[in-house]
């Protein structure tokens, strides 16, 4: 715990048998109360390796996608009474030791969401991020900052920490089950007026680290552009995209309305 607040680490996993133990051992267990992993029908030994380490394991019988995996992760973390939830990819790409700093930023109640940024401090290129991914990251981030009004160094990091309040205030069940879930979640947080913070995070692009290829990256980029368009239209009152409908029954738990809206509970 951090000042009496329960810290839960969630690991959305897909074929992470070779890296999950190294990731788990690098976690700051002195402050982490619970670790749970959701195996998205990997078909390898990911679940068995995690269970042998004492990690709580949930296995999807069929692959639900990266976004669908996160939905299960967050629902399970909230069910276990988490006050602070940190998502750590079990591929050892992001440094697990930063969980302490990220959780502390949430505990301070200054931030609702904290991102581990690969861009701050030049960590992305130093860690081996391919040049084309770096260029796409910078271009998409600049585009989204322009149209959302936020000033983030990147929108595409998979290393994230959330307060319980944040997870219960976003209609996460309305989001995609694919990779664009991450981007929709941040745009929801901006639309809700949640406080977003960032911390510089070193990364490792190694053979065993998971990474989407060019075709999936293009698909993700198109999704980011669509998410941004929907946000602009929603803010102007010209459209009501489902993932930005804060009064719909699409929550993981009872939300805390940011602007006086009526809280709803997902069925």
pLDDT in tens, 11-64: 999 999 999 999 999 999 999 999 999 999 999 999 999 999 999 999 999 999
The per-residue pLDDT for 131 is 87
Question: Given a cut of 90, is residue 73 above it in pLDDT?
Answer: yes
pLDDT at 263: 31
Provide the mean pLDDT of the chain.
91
Comparison of pLDDT for 53 and 258, the residue scoring more: 53
Give the C-alpha separation, 56 to 116, whole Å.
24
Q: What DSSP character marks residue 174?
A: G
| % of the chain surpassing 70 pLDDT | 90
Most confident of 14-23, 196-205, 253-262: 14-23
Domain ranges of the chain: 7-244
37 neighbors 54 (Cβ within 8 angstroms): no
Per-residue pLDDT tens for 203-220? 887 666 555 678 889 999
Distance (Å, whole) CA 36 – CA 9: 6
Q: How far apart are the first and last CA of the chain?
A: 30
Predicted confidence (pLDDT) at residue 228 exceeds the cutoff of 80: yes
pLDDT at residue 251, rounded to an integer: 96
For 237, residues 6+ apart whose C-beta sits below 8 A from its C-beta are none
- Among 159, 185, 8, which Cα is nearest to 92's? 159
Least confident of 26-40, 145-159, 194-208: 194-208
Per-residue pLDDT at 216? 87
Please answer whether residues 77 and 161 qualify as being in contact, where contact means their C-beta atoms are separated by less than 8 angstroms: no
In this prediction, residue 124 carries a pLDDT of: 65
Q: What is the pTM of this model?
A: 0.91
Using the predicted structure, report yes or no on whether residue 185 has a pLDDT greater than 90. Answer: yes
Identify the pLDDT of residue 121. Answer: 84
Q: How far apart are CA 62 and CA 223, in angstroms?
A: 23
Q: Looking at residues 165-178, what average pLDDT do you find?
A: 97
The pLDDT of residue 130: 82
Cα 78 to Cα 115: distance, rounded to the nearest angstrom: 19
Q: Which CATH number describes the domain made up of 7-244? A: 3.90.550.10
The mean per-residue pLDDT over the stretch 142-148 comes to 98
Using DSSP bridges, classify how beta strands 196-200 and 113-117 pair: parallel, antiparallel or unpaired. Answer: parallel
Determine the pLDDT at residue 257: 45
Q: Which residues contact 89 (CB under 8 A, 6 or more apart)?
A: 11, 12, 16, 23, 158, 159, 210
Banded model confidence at residue 115, pLDDT cuts 50, 70, 90 = very high
Reported confidence tier of residue 81, pLDDT bands at 50, 70, 90: very high
């Amino acid at each position: 715990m951090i000042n009496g607040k329960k810290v839960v680490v969630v690991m959305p996993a897909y074929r992470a048998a070779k890296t999950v133990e190294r990731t788990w051992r690098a976690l700051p267990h002195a402050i982490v109360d619970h670790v749970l992993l959701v195996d998205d029908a990997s078909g390898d030994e990911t679940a068995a390796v995690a269970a042998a380490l004492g990690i709580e394991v949930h296995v999807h019988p069929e692959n639900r996608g990266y976004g669908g995996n996160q939905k299960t992760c967050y629902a399970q973390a909230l069910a276990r009474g988490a006050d602070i939830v940190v998502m750590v990819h079990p591929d050892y790409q992001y440094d697990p030791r930063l969980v302490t700093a990220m959780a502390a930023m949430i505990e301070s109640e200054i931030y609702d969401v904290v991102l581990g940024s690969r861009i701050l401090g030049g960590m992305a290129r130093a860690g081996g991020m391919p040049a084309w991914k770096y260029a796409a990251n910078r271009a998409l981030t600049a585009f989204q900052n322009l149209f959302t009004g936020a000033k983030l160094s990147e929108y595409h990091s998979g290393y994230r920490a959330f307060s319980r309040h944040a997870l219960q205030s976003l209609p996460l069940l309305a989001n995609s089950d694919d990779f664009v879930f991450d981007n929709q979640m941040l745009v929801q947080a901006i639309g809700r007026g949640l406080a977003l913070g960032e911390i510089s995070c070193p990364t490792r692009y190694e053979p065993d680290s998971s990474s989407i290829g060019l075709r999936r990256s293009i698909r993700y980029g198109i999704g980011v552009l669509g998410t941004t368009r929907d946000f602009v239209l929603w803010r102007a009152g010209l459209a009501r995209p489902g993932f930005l409908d804060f009064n719909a029954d699409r929550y993981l738990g009872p939300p805390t309305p940011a602007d006086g809206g009526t809280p709803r509970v997902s069925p």
